[in-house]
């Protein structure tokens, strides 16, 4: 570390430092999320681990500002942080049989 002398800072200075640190961490997180989102497209086959460690697979159906909506192979829909998604390795072969064209009425 750089050796910041926290003992020499007043309460107001510590609060200001904390606010700057939190803002910087939020910016870094937003940059990671944006980079991960750019690597994913609608129709991509992806996989991720759920809260119990089970690997789930599905197709990206929507890219949101902070999450990606995945239609799971089990029929469920998941909103997942793009940083937690991995593209499925043999997605090209499996993808053709799972996508169906559709049009919106309107």
Domain-located, residue 4: no
Q: State the CB neighbour count (10 A cutoff) for residue 94.
A: 15
Domain-located, residue 100: no
5-40 residue pLDDT tens: 889 899 999 999 999 999 999 999 999 988 988 889
33-66 residue pLDDT tens: 889 888 899 999 999 998 899 999 999 999 988 8
Burial status of residue 79 (CB atoms within 10 A of its CB: 0-12, 13-18, 19 or more) = exposed
Is 0.85 surpassed by the pTM of this model? no
Domain-located, residue 96: no
Arithmetic mean of pLDDT over the chain: 86
* Owning domain of residue 62: 9-90
Adjacent-strand bridge partners of 58:
46, 72
Domain-located, residue 56: yes
Domain-located, residue 101: no
State yes or no: pLDDT of 98 exceeds 80.
Answer: no
- Predicted confidence at residue 1, as pLDDT, reads 53
- Cα 1 from Cα 44, distance rounded (Å): 41
Q: What is the CATH number of the domain that holds 43?
A: 2.30.30.140
- Predicted confidence at residue 25, as pLDDT, reads 97
Total domains, the chain: 1
DSSP H helices in 39-106: 91-98
| Strand ranges for the chain from DSSP E | 45-49, 55-63, 68-72, 77-80, 86-87
């Amino acid at each position: 570390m750089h050796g910041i002398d926290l003992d020499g800072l007043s309460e107001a200075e510590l609060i200001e430092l904390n606010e700057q640190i939190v803002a910087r961490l939020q910016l870094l997180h937003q940059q990671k999320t944006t980079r991960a989102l750019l690597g994913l497209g609608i129709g991509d086959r992806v996989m991720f681990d759920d809260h119990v460690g089970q690997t789930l697979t599905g197709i990206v159906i929507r890219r949101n500002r902070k999450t990606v909506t995945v239609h799971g192979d089990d029929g469920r829909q998941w909103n997942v942080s793009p940083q937690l998604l991995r593209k499925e390795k043999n997605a090209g072969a499996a993808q053709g049989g799972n996508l169906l064209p559709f049009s919106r009425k309107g």
